[in-house]
Amino acid sequence: MINASLKQLGDTLRAKKISSVELTQLYLDRIAALNPGLNAFITVRPEISLAQASEADIRIAAGKADTLTGIPIAQKDIFCAKNWRTTCGSKMLENFVSPYDAHIIGQFNRAGAVNLGKTNMDEFAMGSSNETSYFGPVKNPWDRNAVPGGSSGGSACAVAARLCAAATGTDTGGSIRQPAALCGLSGLKPTYGVCSRYGMIAFASSLDQAGPMGRSAEDIALLLNVMAGFDERDSTSLQREKEDYARDLAKPLNGLRIGLPKEFFAEGLSGDVAQAVEVAIAGYKKLGATVVEITLPNSSLSVPVYYVLAPAEASSNLSRFDGVRYGYRTPEYSDLADMYEKSRAQGFGTEVKRRIMIGTYVLSHGYYDAYYLKAQKIRRLIAQDFTEAFKQCDVIMGPTSPSTAFKLGEKGDDPVQMYLSDIYTIAVNLAGLPGMSIPCGFGANDMPVGLQIIGNYFDEARMLNVAHQYQLATDWHSRSPQGI
């Protein structure tokens, strides 16, 4: 059961060979046994999950099941879920019980899926290793001394350790794709605007996107079908015709043109990752694709541009956390300013405060033009590079992460070291393009390597097809960590 695809699980449930309550209990038992050693989940509410499962069973019995009805899905703790504690990995929201559902949560509820619990994450989605969470770091199931990646580290760990059928994540600078790569999963960040951000705790509003994480392209296509769609409560949500993202999975890849950016295969890329990716590209050629070298000349500026824009937007978004209406309030204060300053200093962790500081600085009088506006302009150049590149190719590929999973604590006290690990994923968020990572082999120390697939705007169905065909010809995505 734990290695079944979502389609197989759905079929099994609808054939009544297993009930949703039994399936949910199976995962809850696994979580009870394995989560203490992995710390993938922050909140588990068996009674709520099982109640949802019961309702799903009734719906299945009535013949009204949809694709995901009865299937237990883990939710990143960034999505507000009514009556669920929603912490965003922070002390600031340690006791915040959400009074409403995020749009994404509502979509899963309407589909009849079961909320299996809230997964651990870097605090306020700021991090690439899941080491900044107030609730402790998440361990990589492939090596418990290694990071799972971040910020959706808990979701990635939960899927890899088979603690759920699939999970949701969010991606602002790579936070779905990089943990997917480091944990051997498939994860997708859709085109900006495809998934509603209503109820998704905001980090950087022009970059944040929700997306699916699972063990195969086929699985995440089914999740994306439930997650995507217009929501009038999100002013950046796009009104488009409904799509079936699984519609093109079976298409052969003959004639597919794959662009390989020379900047993604240069200095900084670990040899073992480069090798696994090269073998994967050779595999694609065997499936009928051709390869063309492309260039993204401004991509080297992605990291500096991102570390101006994202903190700037974060400093604005996190100003709402002031201890007045919800969240942490410091127990002792002399006046209002003192209450604000202490609540925020005590409620936020180091990385969050660092980014708020950067953001406040780059938006302040005298620096706005030189930093924020400048970064916005370079952002356009970066987006234009991709538009140019897509004239010569259908999809772009490269490594997702410059190395396999590093050890917990390895990146130490130098934030810049951590920031540089986002080097291949960030440009995709800046341009608003869809990006995916799928497993393509193993590197040093037998740790998973991820292949990144970048598509043109709204080309998710083709990207999923490209991923699925590779997964029919290989089995990297079906491997599981030892002891799982």
Partner 1 sequence: MPINNTDVQKVARLARLAMNQTEIETARSQLSGIFTLIAEMQAVDTANIAPMSHAQDVSQRLREDIVTESDQRELFQAIAPQVEQGLYLVPQVIE
The residues near 346 (Cβ < 8 Å, ≥ 6 apart) are 91, 328, 330
CA–CA dist 46, 60 (Å, integer): 20
Examine the residue annotation and report whether 76 is marked as an active-site residue of this protein. Answer: yes
Nearer to partner 1 (CB atom), residue 96 or residue 284? 96
Minimum CB–partner distance for residue 304 and partner 1 (Å): 4
Minimum CB–partner distance for residue 306 and partner 1 (Å): 9
Nearer to partner 1 (CB atom), residue 98 or residue 119? 98
Minimum CB–partner distance for residue 305 and partner 1 (Å): 6
**How is residue 372 annotated by DSSP?**
I
Minimum CB–partner distance for residue 335 and partner 1 (Å): 5
CA–CA dist 376, 361 (Å, integer): 16
Nearer to partner 1 (CB atom), residue 92 or residue 449? 92
Minimum CB–partner distance for residue 357 and partner 1 (Å): 5
Give the type of residue at 446.
Answer: D
Element (H, E) at 337: helix 336-347
Examine the residue annotation and report whether 175 is marked as an active-site residue of this protein. Answer: yes
CA–CA dist 306, 156 (Å, integer): 23
Element (H, E) at 385: helix 374-389
Examine the residue annotation and report whether 377 is marked as an active-site residue of this protein. Answer: no
Directed axis angle between helix 6-14 and helix 46-61, to 10°? 60
Burial group, residue 210, by CB count within 10 angstroms (0-12, 13-18, 19+): buried
Catalytic hit among 90, 133, 151, 302: 151
Catalytic hit among 175, 196, 302, 401: 175
Nearer to partner 1 (CB atom), residue 364 or residue 478? 364
Nearer to partner 1 (CB atom), residue 7 or residue 374? 374
Burial group, residue 108, by CB count within 10 angstroms (0-12, 13-18, 19+): buried
List the alpha helices (DSSP H) in 164-295: 177-183, 217-227, 271-286
Minimum CB–partner distance for residue 112 and partner 1 (Å): 25
Nearer to partner 1 (CB atom), residue 45 or residue 379? 379
Nearer to partner 1 (CB atom), residue 347 or residue 450? 347
Phi/psi of residue 462, nearest 5 degrees: -70, -40
The residue among 122, 162, 167, 120 whose CA lies nearest residue 141 is: 162
Minimum CB–partner distance for residue 116 and partner 1 (Å): 24
Kindly report whether the peptide bond that precedes residue 151 is cis, defined as omega within 30 degrees of 0: yes
Catalytic hit among 20, 76, 133, 343: 76
CA–CA dist 166, 304 (Å, integer): 33
Give the type of residue at 343.
Answer: S
Give the type of residue at 319.
Answer: S
Contact 16, 105 (CB under 8 A): no
The residue among 61, 187, 109 whose CA lies nearest residue 448 is: 187
Q: Which residues are catalytic?
A: 76, 151, 175
